[in-house]
């Protein structure tokens, strides 16, 4: 995966949202990549070694991306939004992940001896919360994390649920997740927004579903051109 291109596509997509009709709230913050010496220091926090996918992201793409958006469409555009999300009158998302210094296994702060949390999220869920490297805080208490015990080079992405025992893998690798999320216009990533595209049996995001094209028509606008 070309992480420089991924980062620049996230920037271009975010800039393009400004032409959407209605109300749009956008932040575009993309930190520069890290030097190899800086990344080597961060790697010490990874007992099984820093995943190659993260090393490439931080060295070629960015150390931190924060490009959230909230779009409330104009009344004329609302039917188009409802073709994708039936009950919504706005949509939100945006490419983002925490700074490299804040991403490492066990960074959620969960305690393996927390009996109350174990009752809420289940034993397996608590184990995931304790060992995963959280790279994105969803905003509702849930998180996205990387599970390096399953693949040390390009870990799967786990949706960590904070209030029940439904934590699960949603992408077989970090690079696959970034590519799929880009294809889905970086929606959410709250589970209820991504749920339509998640193939729970495979633990993957299926971007071939028909609503992907509708999402593109909605959010990937092109400037209008006029003939001379």
pLDDT of residue 227: 41
pLDDT tens digits for range 101-135: 999 999 999 999 999 999 999 999 999 999 999 99
Give the residue with greater pLDDT, 88 vs 221: 88
| 227 is a domain residue | no
pLDDT tens digits for range 36-93: 999 999 999 999 999 999 999 999 999 999 999 999 999 999 999 999 999 999 999 9
Measured in whole angstroms, the distance separating CA 75 from the mean position of its chain's CA atoms is 29
- How many domains does one find in the chain? 1
| 133 is a domain residue | yes
| 228 is a domain residue | no
| 226 is a domain residue | no
| 225 is a domain residue | no
Domain enclosing residue 67, as ranges: 3-219
pLDDT of residue 222: 61
In the chain, DSSP finds a helix count (H) and a strand count (E) of 8, 12
Main-chain phi, psi angles of 184, to 5 degrees: -95, 20
| 206 is a domain residue | yes
């Amino acid at each position: 995966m070309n992480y420089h291109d991924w980062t620049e596509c996230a920037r271009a997509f975010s800039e393009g949202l400004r032409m959407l009709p209605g109300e749009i709230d956008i932040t575009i913050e993309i930190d520069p990549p890290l030097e190899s010496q800086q990344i080597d220091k961060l790697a010490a926090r990874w007992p099984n070694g820093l995943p190659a996918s993260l090393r490439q992201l931080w060295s070629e793409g960015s150390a931190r991306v924060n490009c959230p958006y909230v779009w409330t469409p104009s009344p004329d555009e609302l039917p188009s939004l409802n073709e994708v999300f039936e009950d919504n009158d706005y949509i939100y998302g945006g490419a983002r992940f925490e700074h490299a210094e804040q991403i490492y296994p066990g960074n959620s702060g969960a305690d393996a001896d927390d009996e109350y949390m174990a009752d809420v999220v289940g034993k397996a869920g608590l184990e995931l919360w304790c060992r995963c490297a959280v790279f994105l805080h969803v905003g509702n208490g849930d998180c996205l994390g990387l599970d390096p015990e399953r693949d040390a080079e390009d870990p799967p992405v786990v949706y960590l649920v904070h209030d029940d025992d439904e934590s699960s893998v949603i992408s077989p690798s970090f690079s696959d997740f970034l590519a799929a999320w880009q294809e889905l216009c970086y929606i959410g990533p709250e589970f209820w927004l991504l749920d339509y595209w998640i193939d729970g049996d495979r633990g993957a995001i299926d971007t071939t579903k028909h609503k992907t094209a509708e999402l593109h028509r909605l959010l990937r606008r092109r400037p209008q051109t006029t003939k001379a």
